């Protein structure tokens, strides 16, 4: 149980098979936070998506299809979006992050069957299978 916590800081031999994303559950808000089974389920959902190829595009290019959330209703930290299979992914990049705030990135996932987005934790390292637009990467490296 709580495999996400054990995988958070892999050892040098890294036999766990999951890349290090510095992942934290979305509800971790204090040092005294009590771990729960929902954290393991959230980790499993995130890690499955972290292995999927996703080509993110700038949020300004997002035009919702029928049933998808409107751009105006999204969290202000959302910067990119991608359609992966039958899911719609939004990637948030926070201006303020790390202790005591959540990690830099958050993944929000939805589909056309409902307007509610689900967040699958917070993480500090982008998965290798995900790509951001080249223009965004150049802009981020200048700062």
- The set of residues, in sequence order, having a beta carbon less than 8 Å from that of 25 and lying 6+ positions away, is 4, 38, 39, 42, 43, 121, 122
Span 50-71, pLDDT tens digits = 999 999 999 999 988 888 888 8
Domain boundaries, the chain: 3-133
Q: How far apart are CA 11 and CA 142, in angstroms?
A: 32
Encode 70-85: b = buried (16+ Cβ within 10 Å), e = exposed. Answer: eeeebeebbbbbbeee
* pLDDT, mean of residues 86-105: 83
- Give the per-residue pLDDT at 28: 57
Span 29-47, pLDDT tens digits = 554 455 556 677 888 899 9
Span 2-17, pLDDT tens digits = 444 444 443 333 332 2
Tokens matching residue 62: 């997002």
Q: How far apart are CA 19 and CA 9, in angstroms?
A: 10
């Amino acid at each position: 149980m709580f495999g996400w916590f054990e995988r958070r800081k892999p050892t040098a031999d890294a036999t766990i098979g999951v890349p290090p994303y510095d992942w934290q559950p979305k509800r971790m808000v204090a040092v005294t936070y009590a771990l729960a089974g929902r954290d393991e389920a959230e980790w499993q959902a995130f890690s499955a998506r972290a292995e999927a190829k996703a080509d993110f595009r700038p949020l300004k290019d997002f035009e919702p299809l029928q049933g998808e959330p409107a751009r105006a209703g999204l969290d202000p930290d959302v910067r990119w979006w991608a359609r992966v299979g039958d899911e719609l992914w939004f990637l948030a990049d926070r201006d303020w992050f790390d202790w005591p705030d959540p990690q830099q990135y958050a993944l929000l996932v939805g589909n056309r069957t409902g307007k509610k987005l689900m967040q699958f934790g917070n993480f500090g390292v982008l998965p290798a299978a995900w790509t951001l637009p080249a223009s965004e990467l150049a802009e981020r490296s200048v700062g």
